Amino acid sequence: MVTPAREYDVAADRNDAAPVCSNGKTPLSIARDWMDAAARCDLKAIADGMADGCKRFGEPDWSVIEKHDYIKAYGQFLTSFSDYRLQIVNVMAKGRTIVFEMIESATFSHPYRLPDGATIQPNGRTYTDRVCTWVEVDESGKIAEIRAYIPSNRSRLLADAARASG
């Protein structure tokens, strides 16, 4: 389910002080379109919206993931977790920094392959989390940095499944 961010940030779009990127769009508009692509599970649009040097910082251990590895991991996540839903509930913007508050849910229905080759077997459980993602938009209109704050329900579900997988 996609709740478009557009209904939450109309006033921010009218802010005359908002920067404009070289593609003629505001960082808010660019980030909003990119997050809408994530809500649609559109990996191509997600990748196309990211700068080549984009880095994702985030849970569970605040590690840095480069663009290529982020897209690969996100694709694996979407394969393993069916019925993915991302509902955007709030958007805030200041300059080139945009913050999204969302509700995310999915069902762990297919094996989840880890980067080291190990596989976590699905347990059929569903999680729901309130999540927050900060993005920075560069001058060219691409997502340059992502900071993802993901609470414990998804992590707890994966940890339980990993223990059961042996």
For the cut 70, the answer to whether the pLDDT of residue 13 exceeds it is: no
Could you read off the pLDDT of 68-80 as tens digits, one per residue?
Answer: 999 998 999 999 9
**Domain 18-165 CATH (choose: 2.102.10.10, 3.10.450.50, 3.60.10.10, 3.30.43.10):** 3.10.450.50
Provide the residue type at 82 as one letter: S
Q: Domains of the chain: which residue ranges?
A: 18-165
The Cα 24–Cα 30 span in angstroms is 10
Note the pLDDT tens digit of each residue in 20-50. Answer: 999 999 999 999 999 999 999 999 999 999 9
pLDDT of residue 62: 80
Pairing of strands 97-108, 126-137: antiparallel
Locate 67 and state its tokens. Answer: 């663009």
Q: What is the pLDDT of residue 4?
A: 44
φ, ψ dihedrals at 104, nearest 5°: -115, 140
* Backbone dihedral angles phi then psi of residue 60, each to the nearest 5 degrees: -90, -15
What stretch of H or E contains 145?
Answer: strand 143-149
Which residues 6+ apart lie within 8 Å of 115 measured at CB? Answer: 69, 73
- Which of 33-42, 44-53, 57-66, 139-148 comes out lowest in average pLDDT? 57-66
pLDDT at 157: 74
